[in-house]
Structure 1
């Protein structure tokens, strides 16, 4: 199996789609979320942890802390986004470069993602990131559709 585990920070949009796609495919999920499990649609503790108990709380509510931890603890990062500015996504890209982790940015090209993954090790932990839903409406649906296609090929 090429992708053994999917991690994300759990924010609305691409992050949340990654967790749900992993659950749908029966692949272990995890990752770090801000302290209190906070997200746009979960503003109070336990937040995301009530729905995604395999997530771990970072020591801070600052999303940058969980972003660094997720990039650090992954073998590679897939960023799913259109041409939209997202400070959190930009940070993810900078951290992947800083930490020397392979990173691919796509707007949803299944073949490009599959080819990229084939160049990586088997059994990898894949961090999935991208804009939150409020920054890029439709990012959840687009990311989940892409990951569903990718995970069908995950052999």
Structure 2
């Protein structure tokens, strides 16, 4: 069943003991710097299939998205078109941020997930239990394709490294 899922500050229970990673078939993102690239890097590191839709021309804030990321080019250079394609292509969307409230493309991603009735979780990486929140979301939604999104590196310095650490912990075997 698809629906909305936003982790509330009251849902802070630890992930259950003996947690085993949910079997994801694919991790997707739009390839932007920051959270998007961290998700793709972790998927490649863990041997998970990955991909997603990039803007036409593989545009990102630092130039062209490197070819090592297996993304397809969308029909438009508009980031919003790419964002919607990735939301629609996924079973669920995980948004990683350093702090709330959401803004810009990160806010749009959340709005599009709700519009398309896809489960979405917004996890603040500065939360003590961020990894447990990610794991709970994956346990509850059990997506085969997970869209991972969040701020670009220039708007949230350090977000890529923080997202990478959380995703390795949440998606890895431990």
Q: What is the TM-score when the length of structure 1 is the normalising length?
A: 0.90
Question: Unmatched 5+ residue regions in structure 2?
Answer: 1-21
Number of aligned residue pairs: 148
Partner of 1:29: 50
Partner of 1:102: 119
How does 1:45-56 map onto structure 2 within 5 Å?
47-52=64-69, 54-56=70-72
* Shift >6 Å, 4+ stretches: none
Deviations 1:16-59 (A, max 9, x none): 100000000000000000000010112xxxx225231x201010
Partner of 2:36: 15
More helix by share: 1
CA RMSD, 1 decimal: 1.5
Q: What is the TM-score when the length of structure 2 is the normalising length?
A: 0.81
Partner of 1:62: 78
Partner of 1:76: 92
Deviations 1:75-132 (A, max 9, x none): 000000022553000100000000000000001301111111111236x100000000
Question: Unmatched 5+ residue regions in structure 1?
Answer: none
